[in-house]
Amino acid sequence: MSEKSNGKARVITGNEACAEGALAAGMRFFAGYPITPSSEIAEVLSAKLPKYGGVFLQMEDELGSIGAIIGASLTGTKTMTATSGPGFSLMQENLGYAVMTEVPCVIVNVMRGGPSTGLPTLPSQGDVMQARWGTHGDHQIIALAPFSVRETFDLTVRAFNLAEKYRTPVILLMDEIIGHVNEKVYLPSEDEINVFDRIRPTGSLEEYLPYEHTKSRVPAMADFGSGYRYHVTGLAHDETGFPTNKASEINKLMDRLDQKISMNREDIIDFDEYMMEDAEIAILSYGSTARSSRHAVRLARENGINVGLMRLRTIWPFADEEIKKISEKVKLWIVVEMNRGQIAHEVEWAVAGKIPVFKVNRIDGDPINPLQILEKIKELANVQL
Amino acid sequence: MSFRYEVRLSGEGGQGLVLAGKILAEAAAIYDDLNATQSQSYGPEARGGASRSEVIISDEDIDYPKAVNIDLLLALTQESFNKYKDDMKPGGIIIVDDYAVRDVTENGYKVYKMPIIQLAREKVGRILVANIVALGIIAGISKIVSEEALKNAIEARVPKGTEELNLKAFQVGLEASRNLN
């Protein structure tokens, strides 16, 4: 996890790496309301953003925070907010607004135990489904989950790139362990980082269609104040951005919003395979529990058990086709997560009963111990299926 | 042969154990060129309550950043000792403050009862630096990181203007551990 790169070794937390990644991606506007265990993201950015010529705003609450980053993004700036479960709940309405109005922005949720104020200082992965369906209505969403400090940096950059490329809010799902763990990293230098900026219109001011049904499904986005004038609304709208009730227009809009993500799923979906070549037992995990899982895989391999790990870096859209394919080669899945099985249900759906899906869960604020996973692996290695 | 060394620093919220853990991790990772992680567990209280900070030091990638088989436990309060003494490796090192932690009956470990807080108060003049005195003792007893690396890490991490005070605290801890032999 200390992947060598230019620069010197540092020991920093995931939250600090997230702030650094955002700056490297070109984020220049942050609005937030500090909350444990995400507060250090705001803390670091409050000190650093002004030095980059950016704006740091501490807002009155989380509703205001996401409202501010949507508005600022419309002016052409890359924007971000960071929160935890309780704040993420408050952001759901405007998250849907950003999906509907196609405004790129990054929302970081450093997950802690819930529901409600729950366990402020303890880890959880209980907001995975909230990230998917927390805001109402049929919609697509992109959510990424890093498992190390270095990967937090990389996926924060990627979150901005995907947001800009597909004109959509992107959720970075961290958890308390990844947010607060101090780890040795070598951060990449500027020329090692690929940064994508939104496509802006080049045509005439009069003919600009802010929600044009282009072949790429992603219309060019004009900066407010650049001369292109358009209407922004959460209501269903036509290509001009004005509200419509016409079924044919609504269908075109809804299809395009879906297709800009679903048609590009291979570009968005990202996962890592560890010791999967000859695996009979496959573990699926993400975020900090993927670390426990990888540790357990190494221990099980020492015991001569052929087990591997599929580690999701992209949670949404879900890697269902990839999981289906792997299911042809392995005997069973064990899904490891700090909730009651939110992703396990998705895996079951993808596998469609072809092989069994087992779960290792924990919801009491204690991290999942590798030995707990090892026990499950040993138990299942001896079972005839 | 690869190794994994687990340290748990425990005490009361506010005693600076998270900072001590961070310094230990930086000493190992940056100045001794090993791998290290530091993580913590604490309650929602701003101050008080049992608090712990864990450092894993290894010469390879560290997957699980929490302590499960502890090589060295530091406890500065009885409450934190009682709460966090589980998961010790047989034969592991336990270092406690001899005034705050009276009740240590565990067998099968190397137990060091040291006047950590007293040393900070009387030899350094500030009870606040008990965490750094403890780092000196840990370095002297465990030798898991070099003295030089810890000195560098302390200098780089403590608040500006307090370097001398903290280095003195480290030295006091180091000497206390030497007097054991």
Picking from A184, A298, A370, the nearest residue to B29 by CB comes out as A184
For residues A216 and A207, what is the distance between their CA atoms, to the nearest angstrom? 19
Q: In the prediction, which pLDDT does A1 show?
A: 46
The mean pLDDT value for B143-156 works out to 97
The conformation of residue A50, written as its DSSP 8-state character, comes to G
The mean pLDDT value for B162-166 works out to 97
Contact A291 B65 (CB under 8 A): yes
State the nearest Cα–Cα gap between B179 and chain A, in angstroms. 32
Q: Does A375 touch chain B (CB under 8 A)?
A: no
Q: In the prediction, which pLDDT does B2 show?
A: 85
pTM of the model: 0.96
Contact A11 B36 (CB under 8 A): yes
* Co-location of A44 and A174 in the same domain: yes
Q: Does B86 touch chain A (CB under 8 A)?
A: no
Q: In the prediction, which pLDDT does B49 show?
A: 81
Contact A370 B64 (CB under 8 A): yes
Q: In the prediction, which pLDDT does A384 show?
A: 66
The boundaries of the domain holding residue B104 are 4-178
Q: In the prediction, which pLDDT does A146 show?
A: 98
Write the pLDDT tens digit of every residue in B17-75.
999 999 999 999 999 999 999 998 877 766 678 889 999 999 999 999 999 999 999 99
Count of beta carbons in the 10 Å neighbourhood of residue A34: 17
Picking from B29, B33, B43, the nearest residue to A121 by CB comes out as B43
* Co-location of A156 and A28 in the same domain: yes
Q: In the prediction, which pLDDT does B1 show?
A: 59
* Co-location of A186 and A280 in the same domain: no
**Which residue, A171, A192, A213, sits at the end of a domain?**
A192
Among A365, A377, A376, which Cα is nearest to A126's? A365
Contact B39 A181 (CB under 8 A): yes
CATH number, domain of B150, equals 3.40.920.10
Q: Does A96 touch chain B (CB under 8 A)?
A: no
Q: In the prediction, which pLDDT does A161 show?
A: 98
* Co-location of A188 and A276 in the same domain: no
Q: What is the CA radius of gyration of chain B?
A: 15
Q: Does B165 touch chain A (CB under 8 A)?
A: no
Q: Does A367 touch chain B (CB under 8 A)?
A: yes
- Domains in chain B, number: 1
The boundaries of the domain holding residue A348 are 270-381
Picking from B42, B61, B63, the nearest residue to A121 by CB comes out as B42
For residues A46 and A31, what is the distance between their CA atoms, to the nearest angstrom? 10
CB A121 within 8 A of CB A114: no
Among A318, A337, A327, which Cα is nearest to A271's? A318
* Co-location of A159 and A37 in the same domain: yes
Regions of chain A with pLDDT less than 70: 1-7, 384-385
ipTM above 0.85, yes or no: yes
CATH number, domain of A341, equals 3.40.50.920
Contact A177 B35 (CB under 8 A): no
* Co-location of A171 and A43 in the same domain: yes
* Co-location of A31 and A158 in the same domain: yes
Q: Does A9 touch chain B (CB under 8 A)?
A: yes
The token duo for B117 is 């807080």
How far apart, in Å, are the Cα atoms of B97 and each of B53, B73, B130? Answer: 17, 11, 10
Q: What is the CA radius of gyration of chain A?
A: 21
- Domains in chain A, number: 2
The mean pLDDT value for B67-95 works out to 95
**Which residue, A161, A192, A223, sits at the end of a domain?**
A192
Chain A hits for B43, Cβ within 8 Å: 121
